Amino acid sequence: MEREAFECTICGRCCFGMGKYVRVVGQMGPNNIAVRHELSNETCYVTIVKEYRDDFDLAEAMGIKSGWCPFLRESEDGTFPCAIYENRPKFCRDFTCCRMRVYSSDGIPVARVKSKSSVITDDEAFAEWWKKNAASYPGEGKEWEEGVTRLLASEGYRVVWYD
Binding site for ligand SF4 (CB under 6 A): 8-15, 18, 22, 69, 71-72, 82, 84, 88-89, 92, 97
Q: Which is nearer to ligand SF4, 3 or 20 (CB)?
A: 20
Are the CB atoms for 33 and 114 separated by under 8 Å? no
Rounded least distance, CB 84 to ligand SF4, Å: 6
Which residues does 148 contact at the CB level (< 8 Å), separation at least 6? 134, 137, 159
Pick between residue 27 and residue 133 the one whose CB is nearest to ligand SF4: 27
- Return the sign of the alpha-carbon dihedral for residues 110, 129, 157, 116: positive
CB of residue 6 vs ligand SF4: minimum separation in angstroms? Answer: 8
Q: Are 73 and 88 in contact (CB under 8 A)?
A: no
Q: Which is nearer to ligand SF4, 44 or 151 (CB)?
A: 44
